[in-house]
Amino acid sequence: PNHLKDLQNSVSAYERAVKLAPDGHPEKAARLASLGSCLFTRCVQLDSIDDLHRSLSLAEDAVRVASDDHPDKPMTLTNLGELLIQRHKKLGDLKDLLRSVSVRKKAVQLTPNGHPSKAVMLMNLGASLLKVFLYNKFDMDALREAKSVHQTAACLTTGPADIRFDSASRWAICCSMLKQSPMEAWQIALNLLPELAWLGLSIPDRHRRLEKAGRIVRDAAASALAAGRPETAVEWLEQGRSVIWGQLLSLRTPLDALKDKDPHLAGKLIALSAQLERSGTRNYADKPQQDSGPSPQLIAEKAFEAAHQRDKLIKEIRKLSGFERFLLPKTISELSIAAQGGPVVILNVSSMSSDAFILIPGMENEVMHIPLLGFKQQYNYVEGLAKSIGKLVGRNTRLKLKQEDQVTSDEQFQHMLSSLWTGIVKPILNGLAFNTPKKSAEQRIWWCLTGSLTFLPIHAAGIYGKEGTLGSKISDYVISSYTPSLTALIEGQRPHSVPPNTFEILAVAQPTASGQIVIPETRTEIKHIERIAQGREIPVVTLMENTATLAAVQEKMKQCQWAHFACHGVQNADQPTESALLLAGDSRLTLSKIIQLALPNADFVFLSACQTAMGDSKLQEESVHLAAGMLLAGYKGVIATMWTIMDQDAPQVAKDVYGHMLEVSPPDTTKAAEALHIAIQKLREGPNGKSFLHWVPYIHFGV
């Protein structure tokens, strides 16, 4: 293959470069190291032990010829340490691991204190020490030293945030293996999240840096629980959930109290926050037009400076009396108010345990804990099922009836929903003493999910088929809603600062999006909404087909309190913020455009399109989907879809939802979950209701 040919050419070029550099040449060490690196890459590609031995020999030569005061010497040493670890993997010789430790100790010694790469050198030394312990389980000294080294790296304020974050999590793991408390280490890791996803970076860059954070946050919460601190577990899970949404919310935080206290500081913060929001949500995928404004490099530099200024300003604000916790992570007493409408269940599945943490109305500062002992054994099965369900229903299109048989597998669904019922939902309902099933449930409950659970239909858990009776499924007891985070739910509970004096519904339909199958029932859907609203004398602004342009839709979203989208939705796995609702022509209302909207009148939106609540598997904690974006834009309630929906079902569901929601005057967003609950019951009783694919995808977010 071409890449092997390129690699061979690189090896030959570096071999010539090494020959051309006599001993004493300032570039000699770097050239030896580069040749060794190329040979190691070839060793990995071809599984060649000869290349591994040779790359190690060259790395040893590079270390030998580089003087101790050469700036690259520490990195040359730490890289030699990595090659020794790789040879140990192949040959199993403990001497290689012990030498890896000794060369990396030298790398640490040669790196000046205060140097940004000191933390990297320490973290790599810690990794070598841990390898020694894991290979030789009786070497507790190696484990104790690994803990100490990772602790030092995590606490170095000059180190890069991602290195310190990794070191803090490894420090915590070492503590656990030493039977010591890991709480300080986890706290430092959690406190580093805002630096890891720093506001000076674009949102796609922040997402990339958070990809590995979710598992660490879930393990930290499980550790807090094991230490007898369920309240801390909830605080940490919230700190680690929807980090970027939380940052954007903080940029939009109302500053009335600060304006009263210090108008000058408030003004500066508003200006810097607005600048950062513009640069963070800018779509870097868009190709810049000629002379269309500043370059991406200049935008990045300005964002970097603005983020530094904002960090300094917030420290200044926290010195004011009464503002000591300004924009700090919420405490359990602040988070408790999320449960004012009913219990909020935070589900955490980690490598250590599976648990439900429940906030209950009226129980401030308290968390109910329910261990999900039965689910621990089922976790790998359900996680695998989450992936297979994604494949099973992972279409971007609203399906017509004849296509359904290509994707459905009711047997798989039935098995999964039964596992969710017995392993998660039933123990929680028992713990809450929700023991009386009803034909028409009234009790609300909110689900805040972590990890792979974010892809699973908790709202549909139950035993179906012949065994299914009243009381064997979740909908017999509660009306389920989801929230991406506790903060998002608290934000949704805030009343509008200025109540609107008129009420309008925006209805958008796009049956013929470019490159997609025609979905004719979207027209029927809009007609149902118009007819119901007309009967209640509520104005509807309809944008259909060619009139549903991006500009028109964005303008009317600012004007109307409610919005309904009947169209194609597409999920973009490579760039999740480019997931979109398809409008007229080639235009798209993307997630990145939605989060730029500030909609002061927004109240409720129904996304009758596919996959509008399907997140990104690499960013399970970040709720990177259209439904969460709508909450961030200001909508208090959202009906969305987990997967593909059927074109012929959508008009009936919309008709039943709006029929119920518009019964009261003025219309009430908090009725949306109940309205969807009733609409889905009707759909299940109809001719297509036996198939899970028809009704399971519909879900409610928010108040």
Q: Residue 55 corresponds to which tokens in the numbers above?
A: 């790359």
d(CA 117, CA 125): 13
pLDDT at 197: 80
Residue 196's closest CA among 231, 252, 239, 147?
A: 239
Helices (H), 114-212: 118-135, 140-154, 161-177, 183-191, 193-196, 203-210
Q: Residue 7 corresponds to which tokens in the numbers above?
A: 């690699």
d(CA 98, CA 121): 16
- The answer to whether the beta carbons of residues 150 and 104 sit under 8 Å apart is no
pLDDT(292) > 60:
no
pLDDT at 402: 47
Instruction: Look up residue 393 and give its amino acid.
Output: V
Helices then strands, counting H and E runs in the chain, come out as: 29, 14
d(CA 331, CA 618): 28
Residue 241's closest CA among 453, 425, 496, 456?
A: 453
Q: Residue 650 corresponds to which tokens in the numbers above?
A: 């959508």
Instruction: Give the CA count within 13 Å in the CB-facing half-sphere of 137.
Output: 1
pLDDT at 381: 66
Name beta bridge partners: 356.
347, 370
Higher pLDDT, 121 or 619: 121
Taking residues 36-51, what's their average pLDDT?
84
C-alpha separations of 291 from 288, 294, 295, 504 in Å: 8, 8, 9, 40
Residue 701's closest CA among 526, 483, 550, 486?
A: 483
Taking residues 654-663, what's their average pLDDT?
97
- HEC profile of 638-661: EEEECCCCECCCHHHHHHHHHHHH
pLDDT(502) > 50:
yes
pLDDT(617) > 80:
no
Of 48-57, 110-119, 291-300, minimum mean pLDDT range: 291-300
Taking residues 148-164, what's their average pLDDT?
93
Residue 664's closest CA among 655, 654, 675, 653?
A: 675
Residue 14's closest CA among 75, 55, 65?
A: 55
Instruction: Give the CA count within 13 Å in the CB-facing half-sphere of 601.
Output: 17
Q: Three-state DSSP class for 159?
A: coil
Name beta bridge partners: 370.
356
| pLDDT band, residue 495 (cuts 50/70/90) | confident
d(CA 266, CA 253): 11
| pLDDT band, residue 251 (cuts 50/70/90) | low
Provide Rg for the chain, Cα atoms.
28
Under 8 Å CB-to-CB from 648, ≥6 apart: which residues? Answer: 400, 401, 521, 688
pLDDT at 232: 98
pLDDT at 2: 63
pLDDT(403) > 60:
no
d(CA 185, CA 155): 9
Between strands 580-582 and 569-570, the pairing is antiparallel
Residues of the chain above pLDDT 90, percent: 51
Of 243-252, 270-279, 635-644, minimum mean pLDDT range: 243-252
pLDDT(622) > 70:
no
| pLDDT band, residue 280 (cuts 50/70/90) | low
- The answer to whether the beta carbons of residues 122 and 116 sit under 8 Å apart is no
Higher pLDDT, 664 or 143: 143
Q: Is 147 exposed, middle or buried (0-12, 13-18, 19+ CB in 10 A)?
A: buried
Residue whose structure tokens are 């519909």: 698
pLDDT at 400: 53
Buried residues in 400-423 as b, exposed as e (16+ CB within 10 A) = eeebbeeebeeeebbebbbbbbeb
- The answer to whether the beta carbons of residues 349 and 451 sit under 8 Å apart is yes
Residue 638's closest CA among 698, 570, 555?
A: 698
Task: Return the DSSP state at 331.
Answer: P
Q: Residue 432 corresponds to which tokens in the numbers above?
A: 């809450």
Buried residues in 266-276 as b, exposed as e (16+ CB within 10 A) = bebbbebbebb
Higher pLDDT, 540 or 645: 540
pLDDT at 463: 95
Q: Residue 407 corresponds to which tokens in the numbers above?
A: 């994707």
Q: Can you say whether residue 362 is alpha, beta or left, with left for phi > 0 and alpha for psi between -120 and 50 degrees?
A: left
Higher pLDDT, 465 or 81: 81
Q: Three-state DSSP class for 635?
A: coil
| pLDDT band, residue 584 (cuts 50/70/90) | very high
pLDDT(270) > 70:
yes
Taking residues 99-104, what's their average pLDDT?
98
H/E run at residue 269: helix 263-281
pLDDT, mean over the chain: 87
Under 8 Å CB-to-CB from 191, ≥6 apart: which residues? Answer: none
Task: Return the DSSP state at 475.
Answer: G
Q: Three-state DSSP class for 270?
A: helix
pLDDT at 326: 87
d(CA 703, CA 486): 11
Summarised one tens digit per residue, pLDDT across range 527-557 is 999 999 999 999 999 999 999 999 999 999 9
Residue 505's closest CA among 552, 543, 461, 539?
A: 539
pLDDT at 148: 98
The DSSP line for 553-605 is HHHHHHH-SEEEEES-EE--SSSGGG-EEE-STT-EEEHHHHTT---TT--EE
Residue 442's closest CA among 405, 484, 475?
A: 475
pLDDT at 625: 83
| pLDDT band, residue 287 (cuts 50/70/90) | very low
Under 8 Å CB-to-CB from 430, ≥6 apart: which residues? Answer: none
| pLDDT band, residue 290 (cuts 50/70/90) | very low
Higher pLDDT, 160 or 660: 660
pTM for the model stands at: 0.88
CA 300-258-270 angle, 5° bins: 25
Taking residues 11-35, what's their average pLDDT?
82
Taking residues 266-289, what's their average pLDDT?
68
| pLDDT band, residue 284 (cuts 50/70/90) | very low
Under 8 Å CB-to-CB from 517, ≥6 apart: which residues? Answer: 397, 400
Taking residues 477-491, what's their average pLDDT?
95
pLDDT at 408: 44
Residues of the chain above pLDDT 70, percent: 88
Cα(first)–Cα(last) distance of the chain, in Å?
56
- The answer to whether the beta carbons of residues 258 and 269 sit under 8 Å apart is yes
- The answer to whether the beta carbons of residues 465 and 422 sit under 8 Å apart is no
